[in-house]
Protein backbone atom coordinates (compact mmCIF):
# COMPACT_ATOMS: atom_id res chain seq x y z
CA UNK A 1 0.00 0.00 0.00
CA UNK A 2 1.24 3.48 -0.83
CA UNK A 3 1.40 5.68 2.23
CA UNK A 4 -0.12 9.15 2.22
CA UNK A 5 2.56 11.79 1.73
CA UNK A 6 2.68 15.06 3.65
CA UNK A 7 4.15 18.38 2.51
CA UNK A 8 4.68 20.60 5.55
CA UNK A 9 5.76 19.13 8.89
CA UNK A 10 3.20 18.94 11.65
CA UNK A 11 4.54 20.17 14.99
CA UNK A 12 4.30 17.16 17.32
CA UNK A 13 4.44 17.90 21.03
CA UNK A 14 4.86 14.87 23.25
CA UNK A 15 3.80 14.86 26.89
CA UNK A 16 3.53 12.85 30.07
CA UNK A 17 2.24 9.75 31.83
CA UNK A 18 -0.68 7.72 30.43
CA UNK A 19 -1.28 10.07 27.50
CA UNK A 20 2.39 9.71 26.52
CA UNK A 21 2.02 5.93 26.56
CA UNK A 22 -1.11 6.09 24.38
CA UNK A 23 0.44 8.69 22.05
CA UNK A 24 3.00 6.07 20.95
CA UNK A 25 0.34 3.39 20.46
CA UNK A 26 -1.88 5.73 18.40
CA UNK A 27 1.04 6.61 16.13
CA UNK A 28 2.16 3.03 15.74
CA UNK A 29 -1.26 1.47 15.11
CA UNK A 30 -3.40 4.20 13.60
CA UNK A 31 -1.10 6.64 11.80
CA UNK A 32 2.25 5.22 10.72
CA UNK A 33 0.79 2.27 8.75
CA UNK A 34 -1.13 4.75 6.56
CA UNK A 35 0.79 8.03 6.51
CA UNK A 36 4.41 8.95 5.82
CA UNK A 37 4.23 11.09 8.95
CA UNK A 38 6.23 14.27 8.63
CA UNK A 39 6.52 15.87 12.05
CA UNK A 40 8.87 18.18 13.89
CA UNK A 41 9.06 16.58 17.32
CA UNK A 42 9.27 18.38 20.67
CA UNK A 43 9.51 16.39 23.87
CA UNK A 44 7.56 18.27 26.55
CA UNK A 45 7.79 15.40 29.01
CA UNK A 46 8.36 17.01 32.41
CA UNK A 47 11.92 15.72 32.76
CA UNK A 48 12.95 17.19 29.41
CA UNK A 49 11.30 20.52 30.21
CA UNK A 50 13.32 20.52 33.41
CA UNK A 51 16.56 19.59 31.64
CA UNK A 52 16.09 22.38 29.09
CA UNK A 53 14.85 25.00 31.59
CA UNK A 54 11.59 25.06 29.62
CA UNK A 55 13.39 26.09 26.47
CA UNK A 56 11.77 23.17 24.64
CA UNK A 57 8.34 24.59 25.52
CA UNK A 58 9.14 28.00 24.01
CA UNK A 59 10.66 26.34 20.93
CA UNK A 60 7.57 24.20 20.38
CA UNK A 61 5.33 27.27 20.44
CA UNK A 62 7.62 29.08 18.00
CA UNK A 63 7.49 26.03 15.72
CA UNK A 64 3.68 26.13 15.70
CA UNK A 65 3.91 29.79 14.71
CA UNK A 66 6.32 28.90 11.92
CA UNK A 67 4.48 25.89 10.44
CA UNK A 68 0.90 26.78 11.35
CA UNK A 69 -0.34 23.53 12.91
CA UNK A 70 0.60 21.60 16.04
CA UNK A 71 -0.70 18.55 17.88
CA UNK A 72 -0.05 18.28 21.59
CA UNK A 73 -0.17 15.46 24.13
CA UNK A 74 -1.25 16.23 27.71
CA UNK A 75 1.52 17.45 29.99
CA UNK A 76 2.00 17.62 33.74
CA UNK A 77 1.72 21.05 35.30
CA UNK A 78 4.36 20.97 38.01
CA UNK A 79 3.34 21.41 41.64
CA UNK A 80 5.08 20.69 44.94
CA UNK A 81 4.39 16.94 44.76
CA UNK A 82 5.66 16.73 41.16
CA UNK A 83 8.81 18.61 42.11
CA UNK A 84 9.66 15.79 44.50
CA UNK A 85 8.40 13.01 42.21
CA UNK A 86 10.47 14.17 39.21
CA UNK A 87 13.35 15.70 41.19
CA UNK A 88 12.83 19.06 39.44
CA UNK A 89 15.12 22.07 39.62
CA UNK A 90 12.09 24.32 40.15
CA UNK A 91 8.32 24.44 39.71
CA UNK A 92 7.81 24.94 35.99
CA UNK A 93 5.03 27.10 34.60
CA UNK A 94 2.15 25.27 32.93
CA UNK A 95 3.32 24.47 29.38
CA UNK A 96 -0.20 25.05 28.10
CA UNK A 97 -0.26 28.51 29.64
CA UNK A 98 3.19 29.25 28.14
CA UNK A 99 2.16 28.11 24.66
CA UNK A 100 -1.18 29.92 24.84
CA UNK A 101 0.54 33.11 25.93
CA UNK A 102 2.89 32.92 22.93
CA UNK A 103 0.18 32.07 20.40
CA UNK A 104 -2.54 34.24 22.02
CA UNK A 105 -5.82 33.04 20.58
CA UNK A 106 -8.81 31.15 21.85
CA UNK A 107 -9.34 27.53 22.80
CA UNK A 108 -12.52 25.89 21.47
CA UNK A 109 -13.71 22.74 23.22
CA UNK A 110 -16.42 20.58 21.74
CA UNK A 111 -17.75 17.26 23.05
CA UNK A 112 -17.50 14.24 20.75
CA UNK A 113 -21.11 13.02 20.51
CA UNK A 114 -22.11 9.38 20.26
CA UNK A 115 -25.70 8.21 20.45
CA UNK A 116 -25.01 5.63 23.17
CA UNK A 117 -23.77 8.24 25.57
CA UNK A 118 -26.65 10.45 26.68
CA UNK A 119 -25.70 13.73 28.31
CA UNK A 120 -26.49 13.89 32.05
CA UNK A 121 -28.37 17.09 31.33
CA UNK A 122 -31.34 15.67 29.47
CA UNK A 123 -32.40 18.95 27.87
CA UNK A 124 -29.17 19.04 25.84
CA UNK A 125 -29.90 18.05 22.27
CA UNK A 126 -26.77 19.44 20.61
CA UNK A 127 -23.18 19.96 21.82
CA UNK A 128 -22.27 23.11 23.71
CA UNK A 129 -18.94 24.42 22.45
CA UNK A 130 -16.77 26.32 24.89
CA UNK A 131 -14.61 29.14 23.52
CA UNK A 132 -11.99 29.76 26.17
CA UNK A 133 -9.96 32.95 26.07
CA UNK A 134 -6.39 31.70 26.27
CA UNK A 135 -4.50 34.74 27.46
CA UNK A 136 -3.93 36.38 30.82
CA UNK A 137 -6.06 36.73 33.96
CA UNK A 138 -5.11 34.34 36.74
CA UNK A 139 -2.91 32.30 34.35
CA UNK A 140 -0.45 35.15 34.02
CA UNK A 141 -0.83 36.70 37.44
CA UNK A 142 1.76 37.93 39.93
CA UNK A 143 1.18 36.65 43.45
CA UNK A 144 2.65 37.46 46.82
CA UNK A 145 2.38 36.04 50.28
CA UNK A 146 1.95 38.81 52.80
CA UNK A 147 3.59 37.78 56.02
CA UNK A 148 2.68 40.64 58.36
CA UNK A 149 0.53 43.79 58.58
CA UNK A 150 1.12 46.42 55.88
CA UNK A 151 -0.45 48.16 52.92
CA UNK A 152 -0.58 46.58 49.46
CA UNK A 153 -1.13 48.82 46.43
CA UNK A 154 -1.48 48.57 42.69
CA UNK A 155 1.12 50.87 41.14
CA UNK A 156 1.01 51.78 37.46
CA UNK A 157 4.16 53.56 36.29
CA UNK A 158 3.60 55.16 32.92
CA UNK A 159 6.33 55.44 30.31
CA UNK A 160 6.84 59.10 31.28
CA UNK A 161 7.50 58.09 34.88
CA UNK A 162 4.23 59.35 36.38
CA UNK A 163 2.41 56.99 38.70
CA UNK A 164 -1.10 55.95 39.52
CA UNK A 165 -1.89 54.05 42.73
CA UNK A 166 -4.82 52.13 44.07
CA UNK A 167 -4.92 50.53 47.50
CA UNK A 168 -5.74 46.82 47.34
CA UNK A 169 -5.83 46.21 51.08
CA UNK A 170 -4.48 47.36 54.42
CA UNK A 171 -3.39 44.05 55.85
CA UNK A 172 -3.94 43.65 59.58
CA UNK A 173 -2.27 40.26 59.58
CA UNK A 174 -0.78 37.77 57.14
CA UNK A 175 -2.53 37.01 53.86
CA UNK A 176 -2.19 36.78 50.14
CA UNK A 177 -2.41 39.10 47.15
CA UNK A 178 -2.65 38.67 43.41
CA UNK A 179 -2.32 41.02 40.45
CA UNK A 180 -3.62 40.04 37.05
CA UNK A 181 -4.06 41.71 33.71
CA UNK A 182 -5.40 41.43 30.23
CA UNK A 183 -4.89 43.34 27.00
CA UNK A 184 -7.54 45.09 24.90
CA UNK A 185 -5.96 43.59 21.80
CA UNK A 186 -6.13 40.05 23.20
CA UNK A 187 -9.76 40.48 24.25
CA UNK A 188 -10.53 41.84 20.79
CA UNK A 189 -8.93 38.84 19.08
CA UNK A 190 -10.77 36.55 21.52
CA UNK A 191 -14.07 38.11 20.44
CA UNK A 192 -13.10 37.89 16.76
CA UNK A 193 -12.03 34.23 17.06
CA UNK A 194 -15.38 33.43 18.66
CA UNK A 195 -17.45 35.10 15.95
CA UNK A 196 -15.32 33.55 13.20
CA UNK A 197 -15.78 30.09 14.74
CA UNK A 198 -19.51 30.71 15.33
CA UNK A 199 -20.08 31.81 11.74
CA UNK A 200 -18.16 28.81 10.39
CA UNK A 201 -20.16 26.40 12.57
CA UNK A 202 -23.45 28.39 12.42
CA UNK A 203 -23.74 28.66 16.19
CA UNK A 204 -25.20 31.50 18.27
CA UNK A 205 -22.73 33.07 20.72
CA UNK A 206 -23.18 33.50 24.46
CA UNK A 207 -20.77 35.56 26.51
CA UNK A 208 -20.79 36.21 30.25
CA UNK A 209 -18.65 37.94 32.86
CA UNK A 210 -19.10 39.34 36.37
CA UNK A 211 -19.20 42.97 35.30
CA UNK A 212 -21.59 43.97 38.11
CA UNK A 213 -18.78 43.33 40.62
CA UNK A 214 -15.70 43.80 38.44
CA UNK A 215 -16.86 46.99 36.74
CA UNK A 216 -13.57 47.92 35.13
CA UNK A 217 -11.93 44.56 34.49
CA UNK A 218 -14.91 42.45 33.44
CA UNK A 219 -16.65 45.59 32.25
CA UNK A 220 -13.93 46.01 29.64
CA UNK A 221 -14.45 42.46 28.40
CA UNK A 222 -18.17 43.12 27.98
CA UNK A 223 -17.58 46.43 26.20
CA UNK A 224 -15.00 45.12 23.74
CA UNK A 225 -17.05 42.04 22.89
CA UNK A 226 -20.11 44.16 22.14
CA UNK A 227 -18.07 46.60 20.06
CA UNK A 228 -16.46 43.84 17.97
CA UNK A 229 -19.88 42.29 17.43
CA UNK A 230 -21.61 45.55 16.46
CA UNK A 231 -18.87 46.84 14.20
CA UNK A 232 -17.51 43.71 12.56
CA UNK A 233 -19.88 40.77 12.83
CA UNK A 234 -23.48 41.83 13.45
CA UNK A 235 -24.49 42.00 9.81
CA UNK A 236 -22.75 38.69 9.02
CA UNK A 237 -24.39 37.04 12.02
CA UNK A 238 -27.79 38.46 11.03
CA UNK A 239 -27.33 37.07 7.54
CA UNK A 240 -26.37 33.67 8.97
CA UNK A 241 -29.31 33.74 11.38
CA UNK A 242 -27.21 33.56 14.53
CA UNK A 243 -27.32 36.01 17.41
CA UNK A 244 -25.12 37.28 20.22
CA UNK A 245 -26.31 37.10 23.80
CA UNK A 246 -24.63 38.67 26.83
CA UNK A 247 -25.49 37.92 30.45
CA UNK A 248 -23.88 37.61 33.90
CA UNK A 249 -21.75 34.51 34.47
CA UNK A 250 -23.99 33.10 37.23
CA UNK A 251 -27.06 33.61 35.06
CA UNK A 252 -25.26 31.92 32.16
CA UNK A 253 -24.39 28.88 34.30
CA UNK A 254 -28.02 28.58 35.40
CA UNK A 255 -29.29 28.89 31.82
CA UNK A 256 -26.80 26.40 30.37
CA UNK A 257 -28.25 23.49 32.34
CA UNK A 258 -31.74 24.30 31.02
CA UNK A 259 -30.74 25.02 27.43
CA UNK A 260 -30.94 22.71 24.43
CA UNK A 261 -27.30 23.25 23.52
CA UNK A 262 -26.10 24.02 20.03
CA UNK A 263 -24.32 27.27 20.85
CA UNK A 264 -20.85 28.63 21.43
CA UNK A 265 -20.28 29.73 24.99
CA UNK A 266 -17.47 32.29 24.99
CA UNK A 267 -15.72 32.18 28.37
CA UNK A 268 -12.99 34.16 30.06
CA UNK A 269 -9.86 32.10 30.71
CA UNK A 270 -10.77 30.73 34.16
CA UNK A 271 -14.47 30.31 33.40
CA UNK A 272 -13.52 28.30 30.33
CA UNK A 273 -11.12 26.12 32.29
CA UNK A 274 -13.79 25.24 34.85
CA UNK A 275 -16.88 25.13 32.60
CA UNK A 276 -15.27 23.01 29.90
CA UNK A 277 -14.70 20.26 32.50
CA UNK A 278 -18.34 20.58 33.58
CA UNK A 279 -19.59 20.42 29.97
CA UNK A 280 -17.24 17.52 29.19
CA UNK A 281 -18.27 15.45 32.14
CA UNK A 282 -21.99 16.20 31.72
CA UNK A 283 -21.72 15.43 28.00
CA UNK A 284 -20.23 12.03 28.81
CA UNK A 285 -16.58 11.90 29.71
CA UNK A 286 -13.55 14.15 29.89
CA UNK A 287 -12.03 11.76 27.40
CA UNK A 288 -14.71 12.74 24.84
CA UNK A 289 -13.76 16.40 24.59
CA UNK A 290 -11.79 17.87 21.71
CA UNK A 291 -9.79 21.04 22.00
CA UNK A 292 -8.23 23.44 19.52
CA UNK A 293 -6.37 26.68 20.10
CA UNK A 294 -7.05 29.15 17.28
CA UNK A 295 -4.74 32.13 17.20
CA UNK A 296 -5.66 35.43 15.54
CA UNK A 297 -2.65 35.03 13.25
CA UNK A 298 -4.29 31.85 11.93
CA UNK A 299 -2.30 29.07 13.60
CA UNK A 300 -3.85 26.01 15.22
CA UNK A 301 -2.89 23.74 18.08
CA UNK A 302 -4.94 20.58 18.64
CA UNK A 303 -5.01 18.66 21.91
CA UNK A 304 -7.18 16.56 24.21
CA UNK A 305 -9.03 18.53 26.87
CA UNK A 306 -8.13 16.04 29.61
CA UNK A 307 -4.88 15.72 31.53
CA UNK A 308 -2.25 12.99 31.69
CA UNK A 309 -4.58 10.53 33.50
CA UNK A 310 -2.07 10.15 36.31
CA UNK A 311 -3.77 7.36 38.29
CA UNK A 312 -4.09 5.14 35.22
CA UNK A 313 -0.37 5.68 34.58
CA UNK A 314 0.61 4.41 38.01
CA UNK A 315 -1.50 1.30 37.40
CA UNK A 316 0.09 0.86 33.96
CA UNK A 317 3.55 1.09 35.57
CA UNK A 318 2.55 -1.83 37.79
CA UNK A 319 1.77 -3.87 34.69
CA UNK A 320 -1.97 -3.28 34.28
CA UNK A 321 -3.37 -2.77 30.78
CA UNK A 322 -5.64 0.13 31.67
CA UNK A 323 -8.88 0.97 29.91
CA UNK A 324 -7.98 4.60 29.28
CA UNK A 325 -10.04 6.24 26.53
CA UNK A 326 -7.84 7.45 23.63
CA UNK A 327 -10.70 9.24 21.78
CA UNK A 328 -9.73 12.84 22.50
CA UNK A 329 -6.07 12.14 21.71
CA UNK A 330 -7.08 10.55 18.41
CA UNK A 331 -9.31 13.55 17.61
CA UNK A 332 -6.36 15.83 18.36
CA UNK A 333 -4.40 14.01 15.66
CA UNK A 334 -7.26 13.90 13.15
CA UNK A 335 -8.00 17.59 13.72
CA UNK A 336 -4.37 18.53 13.16
CA UNK A 337 -3.95 16.27 10.13
CA UNK A 338 -7.18 17.57 8.58
CA UNK A 339 -6.03 21.16 9.06
CA UNK A 340 -2.61 20.30 7.55
CA UNK A 341 -4.47 18.63 4.66
CA UNK A 342 -6.62 21.74 4.14
CA UNK A 343 -3.66 24.14 4.19
CA UNK A 344 -1.49 21.94 1.95
CA UNK A 345 -4.37 20.74 -0.21
CA UNK A 346 -3.81 17.00 0.34
CA UNK A 347 -7.12 15.28 -0.35
CA UNK A 348 -6.05 11.78 0.74
CA UNK A 349 -4.95 13.13 4.11
CA UNK A 350 -8.26 14.95 4.64
CA UNK A 351 -10.07 11.77 3.69
CA UNK A 352 -7.93 9.65 6.00
CA UNK A 353 -8.64 11.83 8.99
CA UNK A 354 -12.39 11.54 8.35
CA UNK A 355 -12.09 7.77 8.03
CA UNK A 356 -10.16 7.49 11.29
CA UNK A 357 -12.77 9.54 13.15
CA UNK A 358 -15.56 7.43 11.63
CA UNK A 359 -13.75 4.21 12.59
CA UNK A 360 -13.50 5.42 16.18
CA UNK A 361 -17.14 6.54 16.39
CA UNK A 362 -18.44 3.37 14.71
CA UNK A 363 -16.51 1.23 17.17
CA UNK A 364 -18.25 2.96 20.08
CA UNK A 365 -21.65 2.94 18.32
CA UNK A 366 -21.23 -0.83 17.89
CA UNK A 367 -20.96 -1.12 21.66
CA UNK A 368 -17.20 -1.61 21.84
CA UNK A 369 -15.60 0.88 24.20
CA UNK A 370 -13.33 1.70 27.12
CA UNK A 371 -14.33 1.54 30.79
CA UNK A 372 -15.16 5.23 31.25
CA UNK A 373 -17.83 5.00 28.51
CA UNK A 374 -19.03 1.54 29.51
CA UNK A 375 -20.36 3.02 32.76
CA UNK A 376 -22.46 5.51 30.73
CA UNK A 377 -23.45 3.49 27.69
CA UNK A 378 -27.16 3.15 26.98
CA UNK A 379 -27.80 0.45 25.79
CA UNK A 380 -25.06 -1.32 27.78
CA UNK A 381 -21.81 -2.15 25.98
CA UNK A 382 -21.16 -5.33 24.01
CA UNK A 383 -17.47 -5.37 24.93
CA UNK A 384 -15.29 -3.36 27.29
CA UNK A 385 -11.70 -3.29 26.12
CA UNK A 386 -8.40 -2.03 27.38
CA UNK A 387 -6.81 0.83 25.44
CA UNK A 388 -4.59 -1.45 23.33
CA UNK A 389 -7.44 -3.74 22.28
CA UNK A 390 -9.68 -0.72 21.62
CA UNK A 391 -7.08 0.89 19.36
CA UNK A 392 -6.62 -2.42 17.49
CA UNK A 393 -10.38 -2.58 17.00
CA UNK A 394 -10.33 0.93 15.47
CA UNK A 395 -7.33 0.08 13.28
CA UNK A 396 -9.26 -2.86 11.86
CA UNK A 397 -12.06 -0.54 10.74
CA UNK A 398 -10.09 2.25 9.06
P1 LIG B 1 -6.95 14.03 34.17
O2 LIG B 1 -5.69 13.49 33.65
O3 LIG B 1 -7.80 14.74 33.20
O4 LIG B 1 -7.76 12.82 34.81
C5 LIG B 1 -8.75 12.97 35.79
C6 LIG B 1 -9.66 11.76 35.83
O7 LIG B 1 -10.56 11.82 34.73
C8 LIG B 1 -8.93 10.45 35.67
O9 LIG B 1 -8.44 9.96 36.89
C10 LIG B 1 -9.99 9.57 35.04
O11 LIG B 1 -10.94 9.15 35.98
C12 LIG B 1 -10.71 10.55 34.13
N13 LIG B 1 -10.11 10.61 32.79
C14 LIG B 1 -9.50 11.67 32.20
N15 LIG B 1 -9.11 11.36 30.97
C16 LIG B 1 -9.47 10.08 30.76
C17 LIG B 1 -9.34 9.18 29.67
N18 LIG B 1 -8.73 9.56 28.54
N19 LIG B 1 -9.85 7.93 29.80
C20 LIG B 1 -10.46 7.54 30.92
N21 LIG B 1 -10.61 8.35 31.99
C22 LIG B 1 -10.13 9.59 31.91
O23 LIG B 1 -6.67 15.01 35.37
P24 LIG B 1 -5.71 14.83 36.64
O25 LIG B 1 -5.49 13.39 36.94
O26 LIG B 1 -6.29 15.71 37.64
O27 LIG B 1 -4.37 15.47 36.18
C28 LIG B 1 -3.25 14.70 35.84
C29 LIG B 1 -2.17 15.61 35.29
O30 LIG B 1 -2.61 16.19 34.08
C31 LIG B 1 -1.81 16.76 36.21
O32 LIG B 1 -0.41 16.75 36.43
C33 LIG B 1 -2.24 18.00 35.46
O34 LIG B 1 -1.32 19.05 35.64
C35 LIG B 1 -2.24 17.56 34.03
N36 LIG B 1 -3.20 18.24 33.14
C37 LIG B 1 -2.77 18.52 31.89
C38 LIG B 1 -3.62 19.07 30.96
C39 LIG B 1 -3.11 19.33 29.57
O40 LIG B 1 -1.95 19.14 29.29
N41 LIG B 1 -3.96 19.76 28.66
C42 LIG B 1 -4.95 19.34 31.31
C43 LIG B 1 -5.38 19.01 32.60
C44 LIG B 1 -4.49 18.45 33.51
P45 LIG B 1 -10.87 7.72 36.77
O46 LIG B 1 -9.63 7.80 37.59
O47 LIG B 1 -12.13 7.75 37.55
O48 LIG B 1 -10.80 6.63 35.75
MG1 LIG C 1 -9.59 22.41 33.60
Pocket of ligand 1 from Cβ distances under 6 Å: 74-77, 96, 286-287, 303, 306-311, 324-325, 372
Burial state string for 375-392 with b = 16 or more CB within 10 A and e = fewer than 16: ebbeeebeebbbbbebbe
Contacts of 231 by beta carbon, 8 Å cutoff, 6+ apart: none
Q: How confident is the model over 292-325, as pLDDT tens digits?
A: 888 877 789 999 989 999 999 999 999 999 999 9
Distance between Cα 4 and ligand 1 center (Å): 33
Q: How far is CA 356 from CA 161, 306, 393, in A?
A: 59, 20, 12
Which atom of ligand 1 is nearest to 326's Cα?
18
Q: How confident is the model over 103-121, as pLDDT tens digits?
A: 877 889 988 989 898 888 8
SS3 readout for 307-341: CCCHHHHHHHHCCCCCCCCCHHHHHHHHHHHHHHH
Neighbours of ion ligand 2 (CB under 5 A): 273, 277
Mutate which of 309, 327, 374 to test ligand 1's pocket (most atoms within 8 Å of Cβ)?
309
Specify the 3-state DSSP secondary structure of 344. helix
Q: For position 396, what pLDDT does the model report?
A: 96
Q: How confident is the model over 185-239, as pLDDT tens digits?
A: 999 999 999 998 898 778 999 999 999 999 999 999 999 999 999 999 999 999 9
Q: For position 13, what pLDDT does the model report?
A: 98
Task: Tell me the C-alpha distance between 148 and 169, whole Å.
Answer: 13
Q: For position 101, what pLDDT does the model report?
A: 83
Partnered with residue 151 across adjacent β-strands are 170
Domains within the chain, CATH numbers bracketed? 1-107+289-398 (3.40.718.10), 118-140+181-283 (3.40.718.10), 142-179 (no CATH)
Choice between 135 and 227, residue whose per-residue pLDDT is larger: 227
Q: How confident is the model at residue 157 (pLDDT cuts 50, 70, 90)?
A: very high
Report the chain's mean pLDDT, rounded to a whole number: 94
Contact at 8 Å (CB) between 19 and 329? Answer: yes
Percent of the chain with pLDDT over 90: 83
Q: For position 58, what pLDDT does the model report?
A: 97
Task: Tell me the C-alpha distance between 80 and 138, whole Å.
Answer: 19
Amino acid sequence: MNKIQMKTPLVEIDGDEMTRVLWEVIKEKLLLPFIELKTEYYDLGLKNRDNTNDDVTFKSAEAIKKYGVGVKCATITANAARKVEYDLQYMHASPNATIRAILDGTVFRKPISVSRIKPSVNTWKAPIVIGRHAYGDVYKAAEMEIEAPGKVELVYTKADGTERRETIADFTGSGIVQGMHNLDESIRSFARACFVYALAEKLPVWFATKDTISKKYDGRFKEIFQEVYDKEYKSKCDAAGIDYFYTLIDDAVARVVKAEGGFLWACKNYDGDVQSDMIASAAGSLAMMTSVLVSPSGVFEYEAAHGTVQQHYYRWQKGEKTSTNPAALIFAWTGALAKRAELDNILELADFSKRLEAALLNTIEDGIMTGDLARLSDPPPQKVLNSWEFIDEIAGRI
